[in-house]
Structure 1
Amino acid sequence: MYPDIFNLRQSNFVLWSPGLQHPISSPYLVIGTTDRSPNVFNQIGRHPFVLSEDKADLWLLDPNTISPPLREGSYRYWFEIQDTSPERRGTLLVTDPLAYTVDYAVTQGLNETTQPASVIRFRDGKLWPCNTDGTSPQKPTVPDPASLPSNNHLVIYELPASWAKVGDDSRGTNVDVGTFADVLALFDTTCRGNRFSTTSAVCDGAILSELGINALELLPAADARPKGEWGYATANYFAPDFNLGSASDLVRLVDKIHSQKIRFFTDVVMAFGHDPYAYIDFKQFHLRPDMERNNPDSYQSHANGQIRDGYGGSSWRYLQSTQSYDPEEGSKNAWIHPSWAFHRLHLTRWMADFAVGGLRLDSVNNIGSYDFVRSYKEHAWELYNARYSLAADPSKFLVIGEELSMPVSMVQQGVLNALWNEPWQGRLRAALLGEQVKREESFEWNVRKLVDCTLDDHGDTNFTDGAQAVNYITSHDIEGWRKERLYNFLKSNNIWDVERRAKLAFALLLTSVGIPMIFAGEEFADQMDRSVDIGKKQTDPVNYSRKNDGGWREALFGYVANLVKFRTKCPALGEDDTDFFHVDESRGGKIMAWRRGQPGGTRRPVIVVANFSDEDTPGAEYIIPNWPDGNRTGWREISQGREVPSEWVGREPLLGWEAKIYTRWRE
């Protein structure tokens, strides 16, 4: 399934431009080297491309025809083109849109169109991918699918790879911004990290291995122009982010987490881009929705005529169909969607070279084309199946969409496999305050829908399987009412015993139907340092030093780690079966008990008992009638890690805002 254009790029510099068949002048390759000062560019040539005779819209330049001849080694280069954007600024030097590595230390120009150099290695008459230091990256070892967790036992950790560390001065100046090596240090005790080597919790431990998560989701790892932010302004889709490290650094991270049976997810932004095609071939790849209001491509899906938002970039044009060279199949004069082909190409790059085991698609409504999203999802599955051939396990790959208007129909129609379950966060936070979400819905039903997301109504359709819904206490989207970090949410609602409410929150997250996701730092109730000013949320630090505070945060981390390991292994929590068998009306319905997992026979279900009130149960015992298998021995309480004597099964007292988790299952 290797795309034709990838093969061409081994023997040629390639510029694919469906809309520039007959420009005023041909594009040029500007190429050179760097000396020991890496930001000094020594140009060695400016050479015209030649339009391919048999493949329309494809510009080629054989590196062996360059004079003086290229020597073996690494080179920096740009494409010199005529700007086709609405602003039309004349001649520009732009990055190769298919560059595998970019170098911001070498740039041309001093304005908003400044583009980093593309990096390539010339060897044996061919062009090869390389890191900025000229070394060749390896591909990660493809993990044995049997070693990977299935979708219904995932616990995803959502991490901005560029998390910040701030100084002590009043300005909160950045001291460091994370890299792939710093992420590796969260899994590897032998790695001290790159920029966080003075943070003891990072350099002296392996926090995420200790936590026990089995899926790492990096916020967009592809290259973005802003430094120290989260990567949503994607500029160079084929290249790992320059500020995070090299392709080799990312491969080392992927290999390490695969050795620990952890899947690698990455976030992808395809509603808009800050990419070179905004200048090379604007009308084929991009649009300004506010300038084309009669174009259906200018509007979001499921949004009642809402215009698409480029957030400072250019919206991708998805309805455009053009007769052109097909960069995937290699055929000439085929009818294709240029943007579809471009995004499928970089998907192939990430799936093949970084062994991606799952995807999160940002803001699918703002993409504006469910047909494209379906095509992208199906291509991801084709690549995954090709990776393993007959051994591919359909339960071990997933394409997740994010859209807060909750178009669950996208899942039921096969456009996506799963969706962020944003209403779950609202239900949880209401439950933590003893409130219901809707006036017409009781507190009891809020909790029922919290525990079993298949009960929640989303227009004309519901989730039908827990692996279709990603639940979270907090996500990186921390702006808006009741969206802030859990610590700040509780404090703003005058809840001072943060540890107990946070434990209840994680007990619900990690035992409910759906895929649980933990935003970095929530496992020890990190707090917002900068992002109380939401404009600074992308530079808000994840303060991992708080994890080792020797107090309640460290205790919370241990509690969460215990439940994470339970969630990833206990069979009952991978099932959707849920039964509420006790609602204490004498206490306002605020004490409930429910079973998770199928009952009967050799099954070992999980029982959760929760108190959503300030009041402890009175006396030495609290009796829960109809306890499933209450006459059987071998019960244990998971959150405290203790055996439960037979005479105490279904009779243990509860503190206010406490959950207890019981099972007879043993690993």
Structure 2
Amino acid sequence: MTSPSTFGYRTVEMYPDIFNLRHANFVLWSPGSPPPISSPYLVIGTADKSPNVFNQIGRYPFVVSHEKTDLWLLDPKSITPPLRDGVYRYWFEIQDTSPERRGTLLVTDPLAYTVDYAVTQGLNDTVQPASVIRFRDGKLWPCNPDGTLPQKLAVPDLASLPSNNHLVIYELPTSWAKVGDDARGVSVDIGTFADVLALFDTTHRGNRFSTTPAVYNGAILAELGINALQLLPAADARSKGEWGYATANYFAPDYNLGSASDLVQLVDKIHSQNIRLFTDVVMAFGHDPYIYIDFEQFHLRPDMERNNPDSYQSHANGQMRDGYGGSSWRYLQSAKSYDPEEGSKDAWTHPSWAFHRMHLTRWMTDFGVDGLRLDSVNNIGSYDFVRSYKERAWELYNARYGRAADPSKFLVIGEELSMPVSMVQQGVLNALWNEPWQGRLRAALLGEQVKREESFEWNVRKLVDCTLDDHGDTNFTDGAQAVNYITSHDIEGWRKERLYNFLQSNNIWDVERRAKLAFALLLTSVGIPMIFAGEEFADQMDRSVDIGKKQTDPVNYSRKNDGGWRKALFGYVANLVKFRTKCPALGEDDTDFFHVDESRGGKIMAWRRGQTGGTKRPVVVIANFSDEDTPGAEYYIPNWPDRNETGWREVSQGREVPAEWVGREPLLRWEAKMYTRWRG
């Protein structure tokens, strides 16, 4: 059955049944029998733009569906006076079911496609944003806050999108910083989807960053050449000035970032540039309306249910789940209720499973998501749910492309710092953030090893080939299973701050040289490289001074052209990004260390990426992890693969290498050089 309430890829067979119900009714699903809530009301009205005033039309009772007793419905055509065609704001009035129980509350529709905080400004903090809907021809339609209908998303050419083993992911907080007037001279959390678009399109100057020269004078990310954009949670979060991990309205784009139309425009643009979209999803805890509507079915407080297995993290030795100021989702409990996905009126369901799989459908069909990053998978507490979510994502991807679906062009990534690689090998996830890679890299940049019992050489070997790294009872077996990064949005802890600040705190002042070495390793190693926004020009932290807390200042793009060395670093990284996304050898896992210079303490090494022989064109990397240049005019490396073949070039400097100098070129301190005979 076709659902006219969505505007994206129209993956009809995957639409949840409740999506169709919501086209004809206001709907509140509250599973369990008898229903845990009684006599909810719809409060509906219109809003004036200036000033933001809510004009209430009325308050109307819901009716329990006779077929589905945990489903509350209200036909908009039954409202008197009759609704005219137009855009409306509404809330559900309910009796609070959370442990605090504050009485009657107005809450957002948990399935709202659009929310509006403007009409709640100046009200009590407990008032949630209004849900937004358009009434037309007797039906309810998802719309932008101004009432316009979002355009249909174009289906990208799958063949043109990059495969997983050639991804370079760019992790971007969809808000960032520019010069401002606060105590540290920085205004934060003011970016929008339109500003992100300006990073890819020279014809768009953005919205709030239209006066930032680095943004309006160019398309930074198009120039950088990344082929996957990972947005930190783009679903609506109430908090401002932070990273957006306090998801409240899972079906709606973040109110502060822009409308659904703004997001569709961004996705269409990056797809036209053969760039995949990843989005971050937070499902361990939430700040959503079900905390108040139906707490016992959807949420729990672990410290109040210590005998409940759902209160504990997976694979974490009895560690309780952490709601980080929100409420943990309840995943082990089931209920006999209406199934909002399949439409069965009396079925056993996991309410939280169904809720999260439904917003997954929304994001994949309406916003063209090409991959997912699941936050804190151990803290979710249920590997069975994570597997179910991953499998639904793959069902939606396969339905989008049909027989043309390519399994190498979709990915579900998990993040968990305890490194449960077994989740990948057991098929719960496709890939995992490789957090130990960051520690190995930063040790290498200081000429150190990570573990006393492990040599510097083996630290570098495991850095270059993540399949060699031991993670308890299992290892990565494929480069597409591991996401490597120099820095991420999470700076909590020792040696996790931005690279610039890390180097300074260790009294390293040749930032450009060490940063280039870091990127040479990131972009030529086995695994999927991920660049945290701003590291490509060595951005620095202005506001985050406590490494025990998460970063509070997003990337400052005004620094991109700030000084000659930052511009040079950006150009260096852009060159290597393009090399990584195109060179066949760097999409392979085959790696061979063929030179370790023991005469220099093992601090000069050379290795091959990719296979040799026939038409194969491997990549050879040589790196100097010491404070000394190689002596003399040449540095000879024995066992150089295909030494007698012609056509070698050095990639980082973009120059040809004469046949007599293959494997003989000198190396500066803390320098890496990359050679290949491949021609892109």
Shift of 1:12: 0.3
SS at match of 1:548: coil
Corresponding residue for residue 577 of structure 1? 590
Q: 1:232-251 maps to which residues of 2 (within 5 A)?
A: 232-251=245-264
Corresponding residue for residue 151 of structure 2? 138
Corresponding residue for residue 10 of structure 2? none
2:45 maps to 1:32: yes
Corresponding residue for residue 120 of structure 1? 133
Contact 2:16 2:340 in 1 (8 A): yes
Corresponding residue for residue 406 of structure 2? 393
2:98 maps to 1:85: yes
2:463 maps to 1:463: no
Aligned equivalents of 1:173, 1:654: Cα separation in 2: 40
SS at match of 2:530: strand
Contact 2:165 2:480 in 1 (8 A): yes
Deviations 1:173-205 (A, max 9, x none): 637610101111100101111111111001110
Report the number of matched residues: 667
What is the one-letter code of the residue matched to 2:363?
W
Q: Which runs of no fewer than 5 residues in structure 1 stay unpaired?
A: none
Aligned equivalents of 1:505, 1:104: Cα separation in 2: 42
Corresponding residue for residue 664 of structure 1? 677
SS at match of 1:191: coil
Shift of 1:467: 0.1
Shift of 1:350: 0.2
Corresponding residue for residue 264 of structure 1? 277
Aligned equivalents of 2:417, 2:103: Cα separation in 1: 40
Out of 413, 423, 428, the position equivalent to 1:415 is 428
Aligned equivalents of 1:175, 1:155: Cα separation in 2: 26
2:292 maps to 1:283: no
Out of 188, 195, 202, the position equivalent to 1:182 is 195
Deviations 1:192-238 (A, max 9, x none): 11111111001110000000000000000000011232210000000
SS at match of 1:158: strand
Aligned equivalents of 1:112, 1:588: Cα separation in 2: 61
2:529 maps to 1:528: no
Deviations 1:241-286 (A, max 9, x none): 0000000000010011001000000000000000000000000000
SS at match of 2:454: coil
Aligned equivalents of 2:345, 2:455: Cα separation in 1: 62
Corresponding residue for residue 76 of structure 1? 89
2:513 maps to 1:488: no
What is the one-letter code of the residue matched to 1:666?
R
What is the one-letter code of the residue matched to 1:322?
A
2:388 maps to 1:375: yes
Contact 1:165 1:176 in 2 (8 A): no
RMSD across aligned positions (CA): 1.3
Corresponding residue for residue 115 of structure 2? 102
Shift of 1:539: 3.5
Corresponding residue for residue 225 of structure 1? 238
Aligned equivalents of 1:474, 1:179: Cα separation in 2: 23
Aligned equivalents of 1:183, 1:190: Cα separation in 2: 13
Aligned equivalents of 1:631, 1:109: Cα separation in 2: 75
Deviations 1:293-318 (A, max 9, x none): 00000000111000100011000000
Contact 2:238 2:246 in 1 (8 A): yes
Out of 555, 561, 572, the position equivalent to 1:548 is 561
Aligned equivalents of 1:499, 1:139: Cα separation in 2: 44
Corresponding residue for residue 336 of structure 2? 323
Corresponding residue for residue 160 of structure 1? 173
Aligned equivalents of 1:252, 1:79: Cα separation in 2: 31
2:634 maps to 1:621: yes
Aligned equivalents of 1:481, 1:221: Cα separation in 2: 28
SS at match of 2:318: coil
**Residues 536/568 of structure 1: CA separation in 2 closer, same or farther (3 Å cut):** same
Contact 1:298 1:307 in 2 (8 A): yes
**Residues 23/498 of structure 1: CA separation in 2 closer, same or farther (3 Å cut):** closer
Deviations 1:493-535 (A, max 9, x none): 1111111110000000000000000000000001111112458
Corresponding residue for residue 299 of structure 1? 312
SS at match of 2:660: helix
Aligned equivalents of 1:480, 1:536: Cα separation in 2: 8
Corresponding residue for residue 373 of structure 2? 360
Q: 1:489-528 maps to which residues of 2 (within 5 A)?
A: 489-528=502-541
Deviations 1:135-161 (A, max 9, x none): 000132111110100000000000000
2:427 maps to 1:450: no
Corresponding residue for residue 654 of structure 1? 667
Deviations 1:28-78 (A, max 9, x none): 000000124252000001110010011131000000110000000000000
2:606 maps to 1:593: yes
Shift of 1:637: 0.2
Deviations 1:363-413 (A, max 9, x none): 000000000000000000000000000000000000000000000000000
What is the one-letter code of the residue matched to 1:337?
H
Corresponding residue for residue 644 of structure 2? 631
SS at match of 1:264: strand
Deviations 1:448-497 (A, max 9, x none): 00000000000000000000000000000012100000001111111111
Corresponding residue for residue 337 of structure 1? 350
Shift of 1:23: 5.5
Corresponding residue for residue 44 of structure 1? 57
Q: Which runs of no fewer than 5 residues in structure 2 stay unpaired?
A: 1-13
Contact 1:109 1:115 in 2 (8 A): no
Out of 25, 38, 42, the position equivalent to 1:12 is 25
Aligned equivalents of 1:630, 1:584: Cα separation in 2: 19
Contact 1:163 1:539 in 2 (8 A): no
Shift of 1:112: 4.0
What is the one-letter code of the residue matched to 1:2?
Y
Contact 1:419 1:468 in 2 (8 A): yes
Deviations 1:409-455 (A, max 9, x none): 00000000000000000000000000000000000000000000000
What is the one-letter code of the residue matched to 2:297?
Q
What is the one-letter code of the residue matched to 1:278?
I
SS at match of 1:32: strand
2:407 maps to 1:404: no
Shift of 1:544: 1.2
Contact 1:164 1:228 in 2 (8 A): no
Aligned equivalents of 2:185, 2:628: Cα separation in 1: 41
Aligned equivalents of 1:25, 1:233: Cα separation in 2: 28
Corresponding residue for residue 397 of structure 2? 384
**Residues 76/534 of structure 1: CA separation in 2 closer, same or farther (3 Å cut):** farther
Contact 2:497 2:547 in 1 (8 A): no
What is the one-letter code of the residue matched to 1:187?
F
Aligned equivalents of 1:598, 1:168: Cα separation in 2: 55
What is the one-letter code of the residue matched to 1:118?
S
Q: Which TM-score applies when normalising by structure 1?
A: 0.98
SS at match of 2:459: helix
Aligned equivalents of 1:61, 1:5: Cα separation in 2: 14
Corresponding residue for residue 445 of structure 2? 432
Contact 2:176 2:191 in 1 (8 A): yes
Shift of 1:636: 0.2
Corresponding residue for residue 215 of structure 2? 202
Aligned equivalents of 1:173, 1:448: Cα separation in 2: 40
Aligned equivalents of 1:373, 1:385: Cα separation in 2: 18
SS at match of 2:236: strand
Corresponding residue for residue 656 of structure 2? 643
